[in-house]
C-alpha cells in the first residue's frame, strides 16, 4: 500500500493580489518540502477536473454561475474583502474537488492506504451560496456527500484542525446524520463560529474551541477525547480538512502548535482509521500562511501518512 499525493498545476493559476496570504507560493512551499529522497515513495497523481455537478452537491446552481462569471477575466477580482478569483480560479477549484474525489476512490478501492490532496483555493469556509475566507467550493463536504450518496458508505467522519472554524463544512453537514464532523479552532477568532453549542441537527457535530495562546498540549487533550467519540460511530472513511495555520509562526492566528503537533494529529487520525476502516484517510489542504512553517508542517504530517500507509 502507498500514500497518494494529489495536486495539479491549475492550483498555481488561482492568482490573488500581491500581499494576499492565500497565494500561489503556498503550493510551491509544499512542493519544495516534499522534494527530498524520503518522499520518493509518494505516489504522485494529477488532480482531475471534477464535473460541475459535483459542486452542486452542496452549492446552489446560481452560485456556481456567479463564480464562473467572476473568474472569466485574467485579473484578480474580489468576491468579498478576503476572497478573490482570477482567470484560473474556476478550474483550480473544480480540480480541488476532482482531486479529493479521486483520492477517495483510490483509498476505497485499495489502490492507496491514505492520501494528501494539495490544491488551492481551500474550501471549508465556502457556504451554499457565498464565497468566504479564501474559499470557493466546500471540497471536503462534497466528497463526504459523494461517498455516502454514490459510493455506498453508511458512515463518514470529517475532521478539521484548521485554526479557523470550518463554518462552510458545518453548514453543509448540519442536517447530515451520517457524518460526524469534529472541528478544532481558536475562539475567539474569525469567522466567529465553532462553539460547543453548535451541535448539528442530530447532535453529530462536535466543536473544540481553543483559547488564544494555547499550545499543542491543550489541542491533544481535546482531540484525544473527540477521537474516542468518533471511533464509536465506526466511520468507513475519514476525511480531513488539514489546515496548518495553528502553527506558532502563522500570521493569521494565535495558537502555538509546532510540526510535532501536526505529526501527532496524523498518528492519532491514522489510529482512528485503522481501528474502524482499514486506515482509509483522505487529507485535504486548507490553511497555513507562513511559508516555511507550512512546508515543514505538511512534511511532518505526510511523513506520518507514509509510515502508517506502508
pLDDT average per 10 residues of sequence, the chain (310 residues) = 96 97 98 96 98 98 97 92 97 98 98 98 98 98 98 98 98 98 98 98 97 98 98 98 98 98 98 97 98 98 95
Would you list the DSSP string of 2-59? -EEEEE-GGGGS----TT-SS-THHHHHHHHHT-SGGGTTSEEEEPPPPPHHHHTTTS
Domains of the chain plus CATH, in order, are: 3-309 (3.40.800.20)
pLDDT digits (tens, 9 = 90+) for 165-221: 999 999 999 999 999 999 999 999 999 999 999 999 999 999 999 999 999 999 999
Active-site residue numbers? 125
Helices (H) and strands (E) in the chain — how many of each? 9, 10
Dihedral-angle region of residue 110 (phi above 0 means left; psi in -120 to 50 means alpha; beta otherwise): left
Q: Calculate ∠ Cα 242-132-102, nearest 5°.
A: 45
Give the cell for residue 16. 490573488
pLDDT digits (tens, 9 = 90+) for 103-116: 999 999 999 999 99
Name the H helices within 150-215. Answer: 167-173
Query: Helix, strand, or coil here: 275?
Result: helix
According to the model, what pLDDT value does residue 309 have?
A: 86
With a CB cutoff of 8 Å and minimum separation 6, the contacts of 97 are 50, 54, 55, 137, 139, 142, 143
Give the cell for residue 79. 468576491
According to the model, what pLDDT value does residue 74 have?
A: 86
Cα distances from 234 to residues 142, 154, 184, 220, in angstroms, run 20, 10, 20, 21
Give the cell for residue 288. 497555513
Amino acid at each position: 500500500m502507498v500514500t497518494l499525493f494529489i495536486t495539479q498545476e491549475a492550483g498555481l493559476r488561482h492568482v490573488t493580489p500581491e500581499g494576499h496570504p492565500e497565494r500561489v507560493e503556498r503550493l510551491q512551499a509544499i512542493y519544495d518540502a516534499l522534494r527530498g529522497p524520503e518522499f520518493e515513495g509518494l505516489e504522485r497523481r494529477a488532480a482531475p477536473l471534477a464535473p460541475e455537478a459535483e459542486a452542486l452537491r452542496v452549492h446552489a446552481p446560481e452560485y456556481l454561475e456567479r463564480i464562473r462569471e467572476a473568474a472569466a477575466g485574467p485579473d484578480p477580482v474580489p468576491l468579498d474583502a478576503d476572497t478573490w478569483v482570477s482567470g484560473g480560479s474556476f478550474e483550480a477549484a473544480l480540480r480541488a474537488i476532482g482531486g479529493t474525489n479521486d483520492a477517495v476512490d483510490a483509498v476505497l478501492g485499495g489502490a492507496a492506504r491514505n492520501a494528501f490532496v494539495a490544491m488551492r483555493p481551500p474550501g471549508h469556509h465556502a457556504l451554499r451560496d457565498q464565497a468566504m475566507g479564501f474559499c470557493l467550493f466546500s471540497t471536503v463536504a462534497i466528497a463526504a456527500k459523494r461517498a455516502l450518496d454514490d459510493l455506498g458508505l453508511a458512515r463518514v467522519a470529517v475532521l478539521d484542525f484548521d485554526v479557523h472554524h470550518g463554518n462552510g463544512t458545518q453548514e453543509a453537514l448540519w442536517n447530515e446524520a451520517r457524518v460526524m464532523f469534529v472541528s478544532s479552532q481558536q475562539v475567539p477568532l474569525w469567522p466567529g463560529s465553532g462553539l460547543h453549542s453548535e451541535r448539528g441537527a442530530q447532535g453529530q457535530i462536535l466543536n473544540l474551541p481553543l483559547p488564544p495562546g494555547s499550545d499543542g498540549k491543550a489541542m491533544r487533550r481535546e482531540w484525544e477525547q473527540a477521537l474516542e467519540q468518533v471511533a464509536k460511530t465506526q466511520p468507513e472513511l475519514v476525511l480531513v480538512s488539514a489546515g496548518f495555520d495553528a502553527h506558532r509562526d502563522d500570521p493569521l492566528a494565535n495558537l502555538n502548535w509546532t510540526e510535532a503537533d501536526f505529526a501527532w494529529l496524523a498518528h492519532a487520525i491514522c489510529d482512528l482509521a485503522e481501528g474502524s476502516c482499514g486506515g482509509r484517510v483522505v487529507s485535504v489542504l486548507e490553511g497555513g500562511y507562513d511559508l516555511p512553517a507550512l512546508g515543514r508542517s505538511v512534511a511532518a504530517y505526510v511523513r506520518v501518512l507514509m509510515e502508517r500507509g506502508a
